[in-house]
Amino acid sequence: MSNAPPWRAVAVALVALVVAGLAVGPLSTLVEGPSFVARITFVNPSEYDLSVDATDGTRDGWVSVGTARKESTTSHEAIIDQGEVWIFRFTGQGRDAGELRMTRRDLERATWTVQIPDSIAAELRAEGAPPTP
C-alpha cells in the first residue's frame, strides 16, 4: 500500500487552491478602504462659518469635510478622495449657500486650497442669514 494520496484528491485540492487564489484578487478590492487627500485648505473671506461637504462628479454620496471658519483660512486633513471631479457644497446658518465644482487638476494647481467665492456669502445674505457671531 502506498502512502501517496489518490490522484483524484490531489486534483480536487489543486482546483480548490486555484479557485481560492482567483477569488482573493476581487475580494481584496472589497476590503480596501477609500483613498484620502492629505489636506484641503479653505479660504473663507465671508462673515459666515460654512459647513463644507464634498462629492464626486456623479454625486455618488456626500462626505463631510468640516467647517470653513469665517474670515479665515481653515485646513482639514485626511479627506476622502473624490477623484477627478470634486463638488463642494456649502451651508451656513442652516441655509444652503451653493456649490463649487473643481477638477482634481484645479485643486492640484491651487495646492489643494479652495478660495470660497463671494457668491456663497451673497446667497446667504440674500436669504437673510445673519453673520456668524
pLDDT per residue as tens digits for the range 9-45:
666 777 767 776 676 666 655 778 999 999 999 999 9
* Grid cell for residue 116: 470660497
Name residues whose C-beta falls within 8 Å of residue 117's C-beta, 6 or more positions apart in sequence.
100
Q: What percent of the chain has pLDDT over 70?
A: 85
Task: Identify the pLDDT of residue 28.
Answer: 57
Whether 63 contacts 53, CB under 8 Å: yes
More confident residue, 128 or 3: 128
18-22, 96-100, 129-133: least confident range? 18-22
47 has pLDDT over 60: yes
Which residues are 54's β-sheet partners?
Answer: 63, 88
What size, in residues, is the chain? 133
Q: What is the pLDDT of residue 32?
A: 86
When pLDDT is averaged across residues 99-122 and rounded to a whole number, the result is: 98
Strand partners, 102: 86
Residue 67 has which C-alpha cell? 467647517
The pLDDT assigned to 53 comes to 98
For residues 71 and 104, give the distance between their C-alpha atoms in angstroms, rounded to a whole number.
25
For 57-87, the DSSP string reads TT----EEEEEE-TTEEEEEEEEEP-TTEEE
**Is 106 a residue whose pLDDT tops 80?**
yes
Rounded to whole angstroms, what are the CA distances from 62 to 74, 79, 115? 20, 12, 20
Instruction: Quote the distance between the C-alpha of residue 83 and its chain's center.
Output: 8
The residue-averaged pLDDT of 57-63 equals 96
Residue 102 has pLDDT above 70, yes or no: yes
Q: Is 9 helix (H, G, I), strand (E, B) or coil?
A: helix
